[in-house]
A and B are shown apart, each in its own frame.
Chain A
Amino acid sequence: QSVLTQPPSASGTPGQRVTISCSGSSSNIGSNTVNWYQQLPGTAPKLLIYSNNQRPSGVPDRFSGSKSGTSASLAISGLRSEDEADYYCAAWDDSLNGVVFGGGTKLTVL
């Protein structure tokens, strides 16, 4: 059971906009920034969004992040087949004094 809660799966068709939610509590998302990772099949995860809504260099602006209260969301617009991957949210947890992850969301591009 992960500390952060994500839907196990999401899907969309090419060109669509999809969102993935990440729910936490006051000790993690409520008081710290959220980061998102993309893991393409058979590869190591890659930083996708940091500090709630910042994109590292090289990440397309189709990817965006937001946070409100104890929840965060990752939005992908103009969905492409190469976006098919697992997506994880993560944040520092003040109670556990460590980083916690969501269980991951498998995105399928139909």
Chain B
Amino acid sequence: QLQLQESGPGLVKPSETLSLTCTVSGGSISSNNYYWGWIRQPPGKGLEWIGSIYYSGSTYYNPSLKSRVTISVDTSKNQFSLKLSSVTAADTAVYYCVRHSVNTNWFDPWGQGTLVTVSS
């Protein structure tokens, strides 16, 4: 059974870079049929797709975040990572990592999510 688990600091200072890693278990990240993505949810608000990466390294980013986002993949560790630079309080959210199907663009499964708070 495929499982995803987010890890990283729960508190980031304003203007710094948020860094999270997602570890995939129960399956290979090097699949032709899937991207691997990040989605966030500010407290009490809706879902926002951040971006996704293919195992080869090709990426898609949300245009509204593109200038601050970098997603990378490490196939040797079966992990992919998110970096979001110049964070502000508006970036405070639960961050989820997901498997993202190519062509039909559904997300399943989801990691449990990790709350990242931006505060000094």
Contact flag A44-B47 (CB < 8 Å), given A35-B106, A50-B106, A92-B105: no
Q: Which chain A residues lie closer than 8 Å to B109 at the CB level?
A: 47
Question: Contacting B104 at CB < 8 Å: which of A44, A51, A96, A104?
Answer: A51
Number of A-B contacts (CB under 8 A): 65
Which of B8-16, B19-27, B60-68, B81-89 contacts its partner?
B60-68
User: Quick one: CB contact mask for B83-120 with A, threshold 8 Å, 1 for yes?
Assistant: 00000000000001000110011111111110000000
List the interface of chain B (C-beta within 8 A of A).
46-49, 51-52, 60-63, 96, 100-101, 104-113
Q: Which chain B residues lie closer than 8 Å to A56 at the CB level?
A: 108
User: Quick one: CB contact mask for A24-67 with B, threshold 8 Å, 1 for yes?
Assistant: 00000000110101000000111100110000100000000000
List the interface of chain A (C-beta within 8 A of B).
2, 32-33, 35, 37, 44-47, 50-51, 56, 88, 90-92, 96-104
User: How far apart are A35's CB and chain B's nearest CB, in angstroms?
Assistant: 4
User: How far apart are B108's CB and chain A's nearest CB, in angstroms?
Assistant: 4
Question: Contacting B47 at CB < 8 Å: which of A47, A92, A98, A101?
Answer: A101
- Contacting pair B105 A35 (CB below 8 A): yes
- Contacting pair A50 B49 (CB below 8 A): no
Having A37-B47, A47-B109, A96-B62, one finds 11 other A-B pairs with CB under 8 Å, namely A33-B104, A44-B96, A46-B110, A47-B106, A50-B104, A90-B49, A92-B105, A96-B63, A98-B63, A103-B46, A104-B46
Query: In the bound complex, how far is the Cα of B38 from the Cα of A44, in angstroms?
Result: 13
Of all chain B residues, the one with the shortest Cβ separation from A49 is B106
Q: Which chain B residues lie closer than 8 Å to A33 at the CB level?
A: 104-105
Question: Contacting B46 at CB < 8 Å: which of A32, A50, A88, A98?
Answer: A88
